[in-house]
């Protein structure tokens, strides 16, 4: 396969999954700037090693590269976990019928959930993002993370428990704030 064919196949196979790659990088890194760096580096690595791709699940393959790139970046930079700033665009609500008070409550709720997820240790945050936001199965997460499926299940259970505890203080019973 020549370089032009390889580039075209890469575009068709991998580029449709760049949003998922950035999303994972954003949640792992905790801010847009670092996520862009990680996603860009992962994309370059994916292109470089596209010859190793066996044509199975391009999304999982790319997210594995994003995950590994992030951990390499984290180790290299010895970075402490940072909470990213709330992105108004990510919390945009399109329901015009919602009154201002309800809109403010929804934004505050989304902000509380986002903060709670960002406060999770990275190995828990990663599992939550892959399962709840990207829709991966336990087996796919286990393969992607290179950990046993039981570890995925226990990390997810522990992450959910931490989220539940953290958010219990934010919300009153019955959905009241």
**58: which 2 tokens?**
């391009």
* SS3 at position 93: coil
Q: Which of 77, 66, 61, 76 has the alpha carbon at shortest distance from 28?
A: 66
Q: Domains, the chain, ranges and CATH? A: 3-77 (1.10.1740.10), 102-175 (1.10.10.10)
Q: How many CB atoms lie within 10 A of CB 55?
A: 8
Q: What digits encode the pLDDT tens for the residues 131-152?
A: 988 889 999 999 988 999 999 9
Q: What digits encode the pLDDT tens for the residues 76-124?
A: 875 444 333 334 433 343 433 344 445 445 556 677 788 888 889 998 9
pLDDT of residue 141: 92
pLDDT of residue 171: 65
* SS3 at position 94: coil
pTM (predicted TM-score): 0.62
């Amino acid at each position: 396969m020549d370089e032009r064919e390889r580039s075209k196949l890469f575009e068709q196979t991998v580029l449709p999954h760049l949003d998922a790659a950035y999303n994972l990088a954003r949640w792992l890194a905790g801010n847009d700037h670092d996520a862009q760096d990680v996603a860009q580096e992962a994309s370059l690595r994916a292109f470089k090693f596209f010859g190793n791709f066996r044509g199975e699940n391009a999304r999982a393959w790319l997210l594995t590269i994003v995950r590994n790139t992030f951990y390499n970046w984290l180790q290299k930079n010895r970075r402490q976990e940072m909470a990213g700033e709330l992105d108004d665009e990510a919390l945009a609500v399109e329901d015009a019928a919602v009154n201002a008070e309800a809109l403010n409550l929804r934004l505050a709720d989304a902000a509380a959930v986002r903060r709670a997820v960002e406060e999770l240790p990275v190995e828990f945050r990663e599992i939550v993002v892959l399962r709840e936001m990207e829709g991966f199965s336990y087996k796919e997460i286990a393969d992607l993370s290179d950990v046993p499926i039981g570890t995925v299940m226990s990390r997810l259970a522990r992450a959910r428990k931490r989220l539940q505890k953290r958010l219990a203080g934010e919300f009153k019973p019955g959905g009241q704030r």
